[in-house]
Amino acid sequence: MKREDILKPYYSRFTKDSEIKSRDIGEEISKNGDLDTTFKTGTTTVGLTCKDAVILGADKRATMAYFVASKTSKKIHIIQDHLAMTIAGSVADAQYLVDVLRAETSLYQLEKDGKPIPVKSAGKLLANILYRSKMFPYQVGHIMGGMTEEEGPVILDIGAYGSILPEKYCAVGSGQNFSYGVLEAKYKEDLSVNEGKEIVKKAVTSSIIRDMASGNGIDIVVIKKQGAPEREFIPIK
């Protein structure tokens, strides 16, 4: 049986003549309104490359439609000391993928005697997982950022279907349009870490002001060549 056939409803003379009928989601939406937006989540995540670092930023609010589910959600996850990832979309899907990626990258590094996995290899690994499940996609959007001696600072915009877009800067989430306005205007080559952090702060703040689903402060993570990632929380009044 082809995988596509699993999605097709099965009908027989028994179901045809019985009172058991499958519900048509299209009919439900037309009767009850746009149901597919009921549990959409919102967020703002931003990433950019600097001269000697990668900087990721995200707000702290998790929402379900008009309900604020959390004011302290963690949207930037450290995968390895040189690698981190932001999450947007379905929290359950994203947290599962973070756990899988941590396990797979740790196994790689054990096999290579502790050598850090290349950022692009980790991105390809995640993209393969997402692409493999595109018939039943994970409802996520990720920014992967990291730094190795060979690659330098790397930012990858990874879509829910497994697309990989290498970028100097990017934003993902319901507030991304507002963040892009700041990133396009402020970004330049060879930024210092302090300059990069200020741009990320302004970009996420711009989205918090204008996007109802973003808010409750900003998390910023800085990844450098040496040492553990640096995390900072900036409250927004």
Sketch out the chain's domains with CATH numbers. Answer: 44-234 (3.60.20.10)
Mean pLDDT calculated for residue range 113-138: 95
Distance CA 182, CA 200 (A): 9
pLDDT at 5: 55
pLDDT band at residue 26 using 50, 70 and 90 as cut-offs: very low
**How high is the pLDDT of residue 89?**
93
Mean pLDDT of 184-205: 96
Chain mean pLDDT for the chain? 87
Name the catalytic one among 41, 43, 148, 205.
43
Phi, psi for 147 (deg, rounded to 5): -150, 130
When pLDDT is cut at 50, 70 and 90, the band that residue 42 belongs to is confident
Cα dihedral: 221, 224, 226, 230 (round 10)? -20
pLDDT at residue 12 in the model: 52
Lowest-confidence region among 19-28, 39-48, 59-68, 75-84? 19-28
User: Count of residues for the chain?
Assistant: 237
Q: In which band, very low, low, confident or very high, does the pLDDT at 34 lie, cut at 50, 70 and 90?
A: very low
pLDDT digits (tens, 9 = 90+) for 154-183: 999 999 999 999 999 999 999 999 999 999
Asked if 56 contacts 220 with a C-beta cutoff of 8 angstroms, the reply is: yes
Q: Which amino acid is present at 71?
A: K
Radius of gyration of the chain (CA): 20
CA atoms within 13 A on the CB side of 156: 26
> Is 87 strand, coil or helix?
strand
Q: Which two tokens stand for residue 176?
A: 């991304």
Q: Is 45 a catalytic residue?
A: no
pLDDT for residue 7: 53
CA distance 153 to 142: 17
